[in-house]
Structure 1
Amino acid sequence: MKTREQLLQQHFDKGGSVVIALREKHSDAHFACHTLEEFSNAILEILWRRFHEGYWYYKPEKPKKASISLDETKKLPDGPTKDAAIQEHSDYKRCLEEYDREKEEFNDIKEALETRNIWLALGVLEYRSDYEYEGIVVRQTTPVKLPNGNLLKIKPKYLED
């Protein structure tokens, strides 16, 4: 099975190109790429620009631990205090899972930029594509080649008998 890079290179080799469309808050942006190098530069430029603008990505902060330990929580008498402590532990666990995911994503962004890994960069951009103002769509285009001569007298190949 061919990798995404091999398939994309094959597309470029056949004369195809790629359009990268960004949906951002104040405007949309489009990149036309005719080679794998142009595609790589565009993907890295998008991630690099967003990283340095400062409000797209941030280093996550570890959540604060619960006020009392889970063991202490279990020893509390039934009632609203115990319920609140249990909820605090539940919230902390959820926040910790979110922190781990955000930390992994932030590390992926840094690694993609440090190593110029376009596939990791593209993965981050596509993963975040459903976030508000972070849409990205990559579309391959089809090269168009018309035959020479009077087009009124020439039928498209798919219409020939």
Structure 2
Amino acid sequence: MATVSPSPTPAWSYALHLPHDPRAPRIARMTLRAVLPAYGMGELLDTAELLASELVTNANRHTKGPAALRLRGLGGLHGEPRNGVRVTVWDTDAHVPSPFDKPPARRSSPGAGQGQVEQVDERSLGGRGLLLVREWADRWGGCLLGDDLFGRGGKLLWFELESRSAADVKAVA
């Protein structure tokens, strides 16, 4: 009989429903400031705040409806050491922006994708948020949600950040 050992990080999850309000990104950042240090992930805080703020800002800018933020601790599968957070933002827009409309991706190692970085018009007032997520998150993706019984539908965009100590353990193994 196989035994199951607990993951290195206990499973945890927080959900926050956000009204269509320009203060929503700030509320999302404040939530991250409360949660991540409580789980020993203070080193992820600045990056998580920036990327979550970008996703929530996009939800507020491109939709007229509410949004939701979900934070979930990453635990290792099958004993794999993994400590970090997955941040998911749901909104009512049924359009998944490129490249989040493709299969989930992992950040490439430094120098691996040279010459393939998407260029942003310097005069543009926006358009850098998703580029920041792609550059700074360890993993990221998105998916379209079909209309459910309550007609909510919309999409999910998400990213994961791993604790550097957990990433270092995986690199040595």
Q: Same fold judged by TM-score > 0.5?
A: no
* TM score, norm. by length of structure 2: 0.25
Higher radius of gyration, 1 or 2? 1
Q: Which has the higher helix share?
A: 1
Q: Which has the higher strand share?
A: 2
Structure with bigger RCO (C-alpha 8 Å, 6+ apart) = 1
* TM score, norm. by length of structure 1: 0.26
